[in-house]
Structure formats: structure tokens, C-alpha cells
Structure 1
């Protein structure tokens, strides 16, 4: 199956002139994907569901197919909820998401003690979540082997787990320090790893098929998804939600319905709109993942558009970022670019595209500053 390319393939550059080793990209913008899902015996029931930054809706449905829209919003987290969370700020119907379950051993001493150690300096819920998430991302090795047990206690002991094990341990650790969390079941369309993109903003995705991730509760903004294999405080729109443990989705089951491509389900992207853009870089975790803005800007960013004299985007070209005598060359597509991870200083940015006159820009950027530079190239023809 052939899938259309992403609307915007934007570049993000890392200039290693500061002590950060990670390349965790902070994104902003929106991303919408509309799928046509078809199976000759019917498509599994999929819920209409939304939380703070994610929305899924079945637009049309018949005996054999569904048209589904998934939207993500990468606006800043903007949570100021204090940590620890007073129990009175957690609604009664959500307090069940603080308790232990069969594979989520919230009260296990090894799990709870480590979680408390990680969050001891946290003043806000987003800081506590980040401390636990960063540790999990950097510590647990992905392992879906047949002999690997995937309950929270086992993953804590072996430091190995699949999406199931990582999700169970994440939930157990968060609940043990009083942060409600729950288990999301979903599906990654086949093109997510085999045709649409093998990377999302440079972060490699581990396979397709059935998947699991977490949903975390912030008292002041509500629930938000995270997939700790790939991203914090959001999931991309290639995460199709099937159901969430402890949440009533009616009707939950659809007799004869399928989701898996191995059972003849096909996925086609009917439409896609992607305006996401890297705007910052974080020092943790050590593993490169993706995140949203949740605090003040950490490093400098230069971003903008590249157009011609007729105000039309220039589809392809390259940009070279120079710092003194050192430079790096990267392509851009669809006339948009973003350069993140910059310390304050003087830079030269050179823009080039076939059929257009090149243009150099001298740019001075302060620490933690975002600079918008839109460029117009002259047509040589």
C-alpha cells in the first residue's frame, strides 16, 4: 500500500555548542489525520473520545468501513497544578485510578520507593510526571520477547518491557505518588512504520500494530496522553484509540470487527494537515523523544518560511547554518524550517533552492530567544 507523504516535512537542527546531549524536541502546532479503514468482515468499534489535547471521532461508518479523524493540539501544557495533589482535588469517580491492579502493583515497595525518590524535588504535577517519565525512558529497555514478564513489578525488577510493561510500570509509579493514571489500548496504522514515515520528527517508532500508552490526570487541565517510547504529554495522530481501562465506551465490542492488517484491514489516509514545528530542546531524558512546551523556553530557535516573489512556497531547497567556520547543511520541504537548540550568539543562515538566487542572513540571537525569519528568494528564470 502506498501512503501520501506528510504535508510538511520540516527540519530541525541541533548545533552542539552547549552542554546538552539529548535532542528531545519540543513541538508546537496541530496535526490532523483522516483515515479510511476497511475490512471485508467489518471494522472494530472505535470510540469518539477527547481529552485536553487529543480528539478522535468516527465521521462515517458502514458495515465494512469507517472514516476516522484524529486531531492533536500541541499548544503549551499550561498546568500549574501543585504536587502532591490533595485528594479532595481528585473527583471520587477518578480515585480508582490511584489504586493497584493485577499487573499494576502500585503498593510494591520497590516501585513506590523509587517513585517517591524521583519526585522528592517536584513542586508541580508536571515536574513529578516528568521526573518519573524521564527515568522510565532512560532506564527501561524495550523487550517484547516471549519470556519477558510485562507486569509492573517484573519490569521494575528486570528493567525490560514492551509497550505493555512500560505502560503498567508507568501507571504504578504515578499512582504510588498520588497522580491518577490509566491504561490506553490502541492501534498504530501499518503506514506508521511502513509507508507514512519511519520517523516522527526524527524519533524512530517501534513497529506498528496493537499498542499501549498512558493517560495522566492534571487537576487543572484534565487528562492527557503520553507514549513513553516516543513522546511526553502527547501522542501523535497515528495513535488510534480502541479503549481505555476503567472508562465506559459503549458499545465496547463489535462482533466480527477487525483492526489488524494481518486480518485484511486496510488503512488509507484520506486527508492530512500537519503544522507542527520544533520550537525548543530539553536536556532530559537522555534518550531523544518528543514533547510539548510545559515550562519556559530552554534554548534558542530560528524558524520561518521560504517563499518566492509571488508569495508561493518554495517546495524544496536547503539551509546552511553557520557558526564561525562551522556549518551544517540540511534540506527543507514545503517552504518551512526550524532550527532549535541554539545558544545566544551570531549566526549566518544561507538559503538555497534550485532555480532561485541564494540568500544569506546574519542573525543575532539571545539565549532562549525565538526568532522568526521569513525569507523570499528571487526566481533566476
Structure 2
């Protein structure tokens, strides 16, 4: 059997292709605009635009797009598209592959209804599925989850069912489905982007959180800076950050573009340094963890080590995941089942 490779819709590797992802963030943070930018980049015809970009990186899939807006009126989205076209210098009239569905004035716009753990698909969901089946879009954006799911969001079974229904929809029709969602106050304060039950994020394979950078003043003027954080990536490193800033009607990536070939040898160095520091720490019984939520998260511990040879935190994270995938290090369980703990250990070392 030939295995299908894991693919992403965008060049940053934030959104899984042919699967469900959540894009979370506070109200007015920029989720709708940034996702509409992605929609435009996917929808532009390859014949006229052989390569299109989203936030500084080429998009990897091109085709029809369905953008469902349950809050912003059609005129608002049309103006955004015109602003994006002016900023990115393409002809808006060529966006014939982009379908924007306006549900802002629809009283009953729920795709799902239910009480407690009971969830039922509505006629509007059937209409959405039929539309996707007819259009066969590469990308579907649903803005937003609170408007489209009239259920008890803190009920784990209900949240799981909705996510399962949406993910099955993406899989059935081979489309990338991005659902916009607002975090709870706890999700905002803890910078997780979560809200309601853990069933929302436990079911999906990918979550991206959009928020202001850590150094932005909470009560200060908005300078337009945002970060997109890969909050839950099952098929990539956690904590990938894309820095963007609002400029002339759209968001632009502010991360420095590296010159071709500048990363040659960098991954090997990071892996060598990671292995050496792991051996040193374990020999001193200073055990480290692979869990990003742990105080002993290995990349952070090694980043602060004076012997890290100036390897960046991002490179150390990438090195850890690469070494785990290669089997050169392992997450080993220790202690009795009631107090089971895991720590990283070297399996084999070749430096």
C-alpha cells in the first residue's frame, strides 16, 4: 500500500491539507482578515498567477475556495478582498474561484444544534455539504464556531462530536477546512486559544492561535503586530511562530527571509549540541522532558545552558523532534505506575 504523505496548505506548515484545523484568537485580533488572505491566495488561478503567497510563503494548493461568514456582511468582506488585492497587487476580478457565503443576517445559522451531549446536524449543514460536494473546493473557511454550533461547548462529548463531523466532512471531500474560534478568558490568559471543553482540541490534529506578541503592551496602542502560533501540531514541532504586522489592508510576515543555503549544517549542529547536552545533564541526574508544558522542557533547559554553542531555541526544538523521529533519543518511562514519569535518554550517539 502506498502511503499518502502529510501535506500542508500553506508554506509555513500551519494548516493541514485535507483535514480540519482551528484558527483561534480574540475578537478583532485579525483571524477573519488573515484567513481571507489565505483564501485569496488559494483561489487565484494558476494560469494567471503561477505562484501565490500567504504571509511571505507560497501556498501549496490552488483551486476553488468557499468562505462562510456568519458575522461580517458581504460588503465588509468584499472591501477586505479589494484591500488585499491592492496590497498584494493582483486583479480582484480574477477571484472567480472564491465563493463568499454571507450568513450575517440569517437568524438561525447553526450547522449543529443540541443539548448536553446530544448533537444534531441541521438542514444548513446538509446544504453546506452539498455545496462542498458540488464546488469541490481546496479550502473551506467557517467563521466562526460559536455562531455555527448551537451546543453546550463545555460538554466534552458534544464538542468531540462537532469536531468529528467537521473533520469527516474535510476527509470525505478532500478539502482543507479551517474553523475560526474565540478562546475563553482562561484560554486568553494562558495563551492556549482554548475555550469550553478539551474535546474541541483533543479531536483535531491541528490548532493555530493568533494573538499579540508577548512584548506588546496590554493596555497600550495597537501597533498591528500579531503572531501565529502552532499551538497543537500533531505532524510538526509545537510552538512554531510566524510574526506578522498589519500594513495597508492586510497582514505581512515580518520574519527575516533567510538566503538560500544559509541553513546548511545548522540542523546537524543543533542535533549534535542537543545530544551532548542531554548526555551531560543525564550524567548529573538533571533529567529533562519532551513535554512543552514541563518546567524541564529540554530545548528551554539547553537553550539556557552556557555550553549550547549559541544554538537557537527554535533549532533545539527542531533537533529534539528530529532525534525522536530518528530513534536516536527516546522518551523513557520511570517510576511505579502510580507515579510514572518520563524523561529523555540517548539511545545511540554518533557525534
TM-score (norm: length of structure 2): 0.28
Question: TM-score, normalised on structure 1?
Answer: 0.26
Structure whose residues are more often helix by fraction: 2
More strand by share: 1
